[in-house]
Structure 1
């Protein structure tokens, strides 16, 4: 059954009372100043209750007090400095309350104090350096407050501290004093969640009894001292310190590279960045240039070589690639009177050749190939042959001016040879008649064209043609 109500002031009339223990009840209200009348009290504990208001200064009258525990209540305000009068005090626990003042220096005069627990309040200001005089202190718990400033180096004088030193979750700054390395009996050191800077002191090698260390969530830097005591700890003991490196954290080599880069930026000479940008730009331009070159290398030749300025006309009858003179396929049809027999100058297995005189007066030979069954699109092989013929230039090979597709037929536009075919020139009578005009030059020219054929076939698209003595 839990006690309720307020603190029983009648207890204070018992002047010889040495122990008051009211732990874990539902007592509330304030602690009455009459508590100071119990001058024989050696043990006063009432943790886990609902006491409020401030701790009365009359507690300083309890000069025989050895244990004072009022943790887990709702007490607030300041800690009365009169508590320093309790010179026999060995255990003081004010944790889990709402005390919001600075820690009075008088606590540092309690020379018999062995356990000091002030954690999870709202205590502020600096940690009094006088706490270093508590030579019998075995446990110091001050975490979860609002202490600021540096860690007093005098805490390194607590030679008897053994159980723990916890000053985590405050706003402490500055470096870790190397004097903490003197705490040879200390088992747990908790400095995490502060704003500490600098390196971990090498004197920590002397913390021979250390079982746990937490330095996480600070601003520490540099390498973790290379001794087994620290390197055997888990990485969670050091996390949250961006510039801290070495076992059990990643190697310091990476951090030295980052540091050099940071120094370069801060000095106004970001050499690494400039070099990286230059190489990236060069690499990007090279890739673009290669892509452009490959694009043009892969482009098919879409125009016959001799037709320097070709025109494409897409009429309903088909398409046409013709010389730059600019005539249309209808001009060819009209010039041959719709491919009338009167204009035929030759026939062959592949088609019929017509003579056509264009509007400009230029005579041409128009070869109409056999009907294409594929409708309005030319075969790829035919296109490749036309493109190759357009590139060939030889005095004994007829020039190809252009080609068209018209109403199901492929039309080839050649240079008109007014003197007829080789067959005609090779007949004996004509050869005898023409000897003085060196007709044999044509035969030599034909031979030269045959010798040139391998070079013309160097292209993958170069066709292989039969050599005939007539033009059709």
Structure 2
């Protein structure tokens, strides 16, 4: 649900009001204090803005949940028995502490222009000098610079409290109403630009030193006058003191001597000025032409030169025994006649080889900024035939480097460049540039040029697990064998165990599902899509966060309260196990009502062996010899999806259950899939080529349709390497 919540203040008989998990906007109405019978108010995970009303702070509620909004200003002293207010934009972290006067003045200004989301997301904390559109001098706000921000509403008198303001630039918005009279009290004000709005009169009388620009406001004299006053005096009157009319020959008596003398002087000056213009005009014209032509010639020369250079890349995967620092490196090189490349270890900057015609850059993978032109080259200018799939983020293309190495290029579409999408883009870089684990997908680089936002990943040729479980018939694929499903489950468990416990810090994925599990050439699995990763708290404490993820995989406590621990990922993993067992999607409204929600239905049929056997994916020819391992996986899936988080195991337990099954399970008819035959110490491109030569074919199934709707977070501090003692 969307819109303001003002109407609830009229429902005076309410005792419980839960509005959490919606998209309500606007402020909390002051009149909410009229709900004297209200005891429980939950506004968690909305888009409410502005100050908390004093009337709400004075309500004697039993429970008040304000988490995950955009509330601003100070946190008042609440009279509620239990109150939570995390993840907002407050200026202080403690109840009762006031904001600085400048912060309060700017928040009042923000309210009068209807709290634009771009400013609300930036204006938080008690230091306005770091806010978008605000500049300071000696720690005091000196400039408000917000042109072309589509601001609507009126001008706030609170701006007059910013006594160090020297410039106010609000041109080309949709502001209306008069200029507040108290703005004339701003002693340091030099420039006030309100052009291109809908300001109405009368105009206050500012000091002569103030440059007031109000052109392009139709309500001011029908927009026929150049309303530029004060210090911005036209050149022809610049010799006269401000506000004193300039005397001209036309204002004097035509017969006076002074007038005749003035006319002669004017003629002499005019003649000299004409000669000066005749001499300078050709010189100035030549200088202007040279000024324009020379830079353009240089630009086109460089562009032509750059277009003749081709780019290549060489990827060295992690855990390469020949690499002493055990790092991922990427080389992006221009045409290089002698074949030399530079090497750089652990640096974010490039080195150059002066002996070659081109340049070579070696940068730690994930921190590599790749030019859009390089990615255009390897994807044939993002050709349709190179398209692998589409999702909420944009389009994924297959790219091939000059040495034959294949990459996946994820390009954000211009139509989805929202704050949410940009946050997800940044989160992917923040996480994957520091994660080093064989069961977490690797980010090789990214590109930010103009409106282009592109991520470059290692290429996972077999695509998403969801395709092989739910769409294998329509895609004419072979169904996954039980052996492969066991290996996939173990791979995912090991990747998630690393995120939760084996790195330097603990992280929560928040969107684990079969469409975010990608399969490589050998059907080994890697977890992908890290736009939602959240830093986990110490111990078993939960962190309150905005609801995100995919229904069907969401743990019940997270879906209801917004509180999350690593056990929410364990729940999602349990649902993935159920999908591997049954071949059914986590949520399908087209199925009979009792089977729509896979986790709930699986819990009912799991204790009955006959029902469990009937629920197994028909593409699996499960015999008595294999049903034992199926039962163990079913039991593990049940434990992972226990209703209470404390009853769920950690991912280390899942690894311990799965590892022996993978080790001892041998299919009756071996399909010659020997996963150990691949030498993982080889470079990635060599592994790909060896496998393709052995198989004599190429697979490229990838579709992101099942991965829409992720909401990003901003994690930091991932472990640089993986050194688990048990080699997981």
Q: Same fold (TM over 0.5)?
A: no
Higher strand fraction (1 or 2): 1
Bigger Rg, structure 1 or 2: 1
